[in-house]
Structures are given as C-alpha cells and as structure tokens.
Chains A and B, each alone.
Chain A
Amino acid sequence: MSELPLNDAITESTTAIQVRNLCFNYGHRRVLNNINIDIPQNSISAIIGPSGQGKSSFLFALNRLWEEIPGSRVSGQVRIRFDNHLVDIDSPDCDLYELRRHVGLVFQAPNPLPMSIWKNIAFPLRLAGKKNKTEIDNRVEEALKQAFLWEEVRERLRDDARHLSGGQQQRLCIARALILEPNILLLDEPTSSLDPRACETIERLLIELQTSRTLVMVSHYQDQVQRIASHTFQLADGTLQPL
C-alpha cells in the first residue's frame, strides 16, 4: 500500500480503523450520525442493532463503496492502518481501487460470479492486472485453504461456482476477498443465509482469520457475537456505542 499517502504516523497505536465524526445520508435521510470509534488490530469487532439502522452503510463507509450508491453522502473522517500508518481514505491521493483491494468486503448473500470456482477466486487478481498463471494458481490454492474450502473443491475448480452449496458459496466469497491479502475484512451478516453447520464452519474461519487480520462484522445473532467477537458495538438511532 505504498501508493497511499502517509497522513499520520501513529506507530505506537494498535488502532486499525479510526472513525471520527462520521455522518452518512441517503438523500435527505440521515442514517449515521456523528460516529466516533477506534477498532483495534487483529480483532473481530461486531456491529449489532436492529435492521435498517445503517449497519451495512457503516461498512460501506469504510471502503468507500457508498460512492457506488446513488443519492448517498458521507462526511467526517475514516483512517485506516496501512503499513503501520493511519491513512485518511478520503484523501485525494488515496487510490480508491487500491483501498478496496486492501479492505475486503463479504456481502450478506453469497454472490459468486457466473464463472468457474477458479475464475471467481482469481477474479480480483485479474482486476489488479496480475497475469502470471503459476502465481495466480498458487494464490487461488492458498486463498481456498485459508477459507477452509480447498479440500472440498480441489477436484472441481473448473465447475460453475453457482453449483456450490450456500455455505460453500459464502466461503468462496470470503476466499475471493482474501486472495488480495487485505489487512481488513468487512463482513455484512456473513452467516445470515446459512444453516447452523455452515455457520459453525464460517465462525471457525473468522476466529482463525483474526490472528492476521482485522475483521469488522455486522451480525444479527447475539449468541454468535458472544462466541466470536472481541469487541461489540451497538448501532441505534444513528449512533454507535461500545457494549
């Protein structure tokens, strides 16, 4: 992430994401109001709260995906740690696409692309301009192993990814987000459409991933949050409070 400007060097801090005075508007409706939080490195931070309160919007503010949503507007400051430095993601010098490759996002519903398993996982590498087949092969295998999916799909990498089960599809989406080795992984209710067994596998995966990454997860399940989250924040009436 050397392309990103060094806005501040807070090397002694362990903060991965620093949010200050964040406001999020959809048209004239204010969804998030003056949010101030610090999310520590190598942890799972869970955001809980009723539906429609702006939990997903909060995640979209962290990788600037809100810019793809017509009518949305964000103010305030979000700084994210890259190479031991906190960087303002709205800085004009901050490359948007580079940012999104380093702050991965997994959506609520599994969204495999209409192509093979291998091509789904390799897709972000192709977007980033990687062409070396051996390197891509190695990184696809590594990402699938990280997502606990390699053993289940190693014989069928050329099959259509949409033929996998719901749980496998979601792990495929996590693997696809992991292939670019993001420092931060955002997860928008990653287990909401899965059965208990698939949930359990994903939870084990997330616990494993937090040793090397910072995870921010939106969840509706109190028991799941208690099981795996290191920090919990409640979103209500547009504000985010630690629990």
Chain B
Amino acid sequence: MNQCFEKIVIAWCWLSTFLLITAVGVVIGFLVIKGGSALNLKLIFGDTAPLDALLLRRAVFDGLFPAIIGTLLLVLLAILMAAPVGILTGIYMAEYASLSVKKRFGFFFDILAGLPSIVVGLFGLAIVIFLHKYISAHVYPCLFLSAMTLAFLVLPYLIRSTQGALEALPNTIRRTAPALGASRVQNLFLILLPRARDGILNGVILSIGRCAEDTAVIMLTGAVAMAGVPRSVFENYEALPFYIYYISSQYADQQELLSGYAAAIILLCLCGLLFMSALYVNYNFRRGAMNRV
C-alpha cells in the first residue's frame, strides 16, 4: 500500500513538473510562432538608423525602442528603490524583530503582497493627485512616480524572501561566529547574509519580473502610448507591457497584432537579460566569497 502510494506521489510530481514545463514551452512557442515573423529591426527602430537611435541622436517615432528603454529604466529604478528598503526590512524581521512584531508585521506584509496591482496603481495615482494639488502644480504622472509605486508593489516579495532566506539558515551556521566572538553585525555581514544570498536573489528576480510585466500600475501613473525616450525620470514614458496591452485591445490590422506578439518576445528577452545580470552578479559574489573573510 505504502509503495503504491509512494509511486503515485512520484508520478504526480513528475506529471506536475512536466505540465509546468510544457505550459512554459507552449507560451514561448506560441509567441515565437505568432510574433517571430514581425520581429525585426524596423519594429524596434522604425525608420531611424539603429546606431542613431542607440546613441539618442535621433528620436524613434514608429518603433519599440522608446518602450524598451522605458521598461528598462522603470525596472532598474523600481528595484533600486525597493531593494534597499525590502532587504533591510527583511533583515530586521529575521534578526531583530520580536516574535509579536514578526507576527503583526508579517500579517501586513502578506496583505500587501496580496493587493491587486490595480489597487496599488490607484494608490500611486492618488499620490500623484495629492502631490499635484498640495505640493507643486508641476507634478504629473511620470517615470519616477511609476517606479515608486512599483517599488511599493514588490516590497513584500523582497521582505519575505530576505526574511525566509535568513530564517532558513541552520543553527549550526547561525551560532558559529558568535561562539568565536563575533558581534551580531559581524555575524550578519560575514556569515549570514553571504549564506542567504541565493534566497535574497530569488526575491530580487521575482521583483524584476513583477516590475517588468505590470501594466495596471504604470497605466495609472505615467505610461503613455507615444512619448519617445524619456529625457528625465520626471517625464511620461513608453513601456512594453503597456504597448502590448493597448495594441492587443485596439489593433487596427493583423500586422499591428503581430507586432504586439513581437513586443511580448522582446519583453521576455529583456526579463531574461535582467535575470542573467542578477545571476552574474551573484556568481561574482560567490567567487569572491572564497577570498574574503
């Protein structure tokens, strides 16, 4: 009976994994088949010479280049805002907070993680309106406020992943350095954080994906259909998920719809690039760890 049950569980695990990989394969395959033909330099740079566009010598009006740059800036800015706050809060929750604080704050962070992004987007919009009305009439929806709202959206992922990674460290590792006379801060920076780095990085990767795909937040806080490459973070901007959203809902012909699929491929590649960068940083840290005390 037990053996039979074990076999069923193993088969179930294999089947679930297979289904998941197949689903990912189908989604990517579907995009490539649909959008592959529309994917070309003209789609990205329009009639502008690629080199001129890349060097920002000439504006791109009918290509995805401004949306790619907008998305890249948006993700980087949001992660730069969210990571220090999220990781430090996670460290506080894991290492310094009392049990009751952990319970209470943890509950709020879980609620925050469960908030629909449209609600967070409305919150961002409310902030824009408040700032416009009471602080300065020059405040409008812009890249900076979008990134700030997105940072708010991904904070709970960063907090929980950092907290989880630190709390998962076994006591043998946790107590090694204190037994040798290390202070709490020395233990944290020399032993615990390097050992929890992979878990923390998972939270960062999850956050990158979340920032890159979210449409609800950015459409309420600064993303527009035509803006060109933003010259400052306080301007409107274009973003790939917003382009995919409005093209798929308002396409005029089949070619436009195909360009939406192609934009989705570009967005996937962009996320892949950001993930690889995060992994590369982690790899370099790991190599360096052997040479550091």
Contacts and interface: CB of A to CB of B under 8 A. Distances in A.
Interface string A166-196: 0000000000110010000000000000000
B176 A107 contact: yes
| Chain B interface main SS type | helix
Contacts of B179: 63, 65, 100, 104-105, 107, 177
Interface of B: 99, 172-183, 186, 190-191, 194-195, 289-290, 292-293
Contacts of A71: 99
A101 interface: yes
A107 B290 CA distance: 23
Contacts of A160: 290
Nearest to B171: A69
A127 B187 CA distance: 9
A96 B179 CA distance: 10
22 contacts: A65-B175, A70-B99, A100-B180, A104-B179, A104-B180, A107-B172, A107-B175, A111-B172, A111-B176, A113-B191, A114-B290, A115-B289, A115-B292, A123-B293, A124-B180, A124-B181, A126-B293, A127-B186, A127-B190, A176-B180, A177-B179, A180-B180
Contacts of A123: 177, 180, 293
A155 interface: no
A137 interface: no
B21 to A, nearest CB: 32
Contacts of B293: 115, 119, 122-123, 126
Interface in A88-124: 97-98, 100-101, 104-105, 107, 109, 111, 113-116, 119, 122-124
A154 B17 CA distance: 48
A60 to B, nearest CB: 9
Nearest to B181: A101
A127 B99 contact: no
Given A101-B180, A127-B177, A127-B181, 17 more contacts: A63-B179, A65-B179, A68-B174, A97-B181, A98-B181, A100-B178, A104-B179, A114-B195, A114-B289, A115-B289, A115-B290, A115-B293, A119-B293, A123-B177, A124-B180, A128-B181, A177-B180
